[in-house]
Structure 1
Amino acid sequence: MNILKSILAFIGAVIIIAAIAVYVKFDLGDKLEKASKLDPKAMGAYMTMFDAVLTTGKATDAMVRRVKIDPDVPTEDVVEAMKSIATDANMVQVGDSHMSDKSIKDGKGNRYIRILHYCSPSIAKEFIDYSLAFGAFMPCRILIVEDDNGDRWLITMAMELMLFGGHTLPPEMMKKAEHVRSTMYKMMDLGAKGDF
Structure 2
Amino acid sequence: MRLAKNILALIGLIAIVGGVVATIKAQTLLAGFDPEARATYEHMAKVLLETGNPAEATVWKAKVRDGLTFDDVDQAIKSVATTMNIKNVGELPLGDQVEKMQGSPWRKLKIYLYCNPLTAAKMIDYSDAFSAYLPCRIALLQDKAGKLWIYTLNMDMLIYGGKPLPPELKQEAFKVKEIMQAILNRGAEGEF
Query: What aligned pairs does 1:83-102 form with structure 2 within 5 A after superposition?
Result: 83-100=78-95, 101-102=98-99
Query: What aligned pairs does 1:70-149 form with structure 2 within 5 A after superposition?
Result: 70-100=65-95, 101-103=98-100, 104=102, 110-149=106-145
Give the TM-score taking structure 2 as reference length. Answer: 0.83
Residue 86 to residue 29, structure 1, CA distance change in 2 (3 Å): same
Paired positions, count: 185
Give the TM-score taking structure 1 as reference length. Answer: 0.81
- Structure 2 residue aligned with 1:51: 46
**Which residue type is aligned with residue 155 of structure 1?**
Y
**Which residue type is aligned with residue 113 of structure 1?**
L
- 1:44 is paired with a residue whose SS is helix
Residues 87-140 of structure 1 show CA distances to partners (whole Å, capped at 9, x for unaligned) of 23221111110112324268xx51111101000001000100000011100000
Partners of 1:118 and 1:8 lie apart in 2 by 62
Which structure shows the higher helix fraction? 2
Shift of 1:8: 5.5
Partners of 1:92 and 1:79 lie apart in 2 by 16
**Which residue type is aligned with residue 60 of structure 1?**
A
Residue 68 (1) aligns with residue 63 (2): yes
Shift of 1:148: 1.1
Residue 51 to residue 30, structure 1, CA distance change in 2 (3 Å): closer
Residue 71 to residue 114, structure 1, CA distance change in 2 (3 Å): same
Residue 47 to residue 29, structure 1, CA distance change in 2 (3 Å): closer
**Which residue type is aligned with residue 178 of structure 2?**
S
Shift of 1:170: 1.2
CA root-mean-square deviation: 2.9
Q: Percent identity?
A: 32
- Which structure has the larger Rg? 1
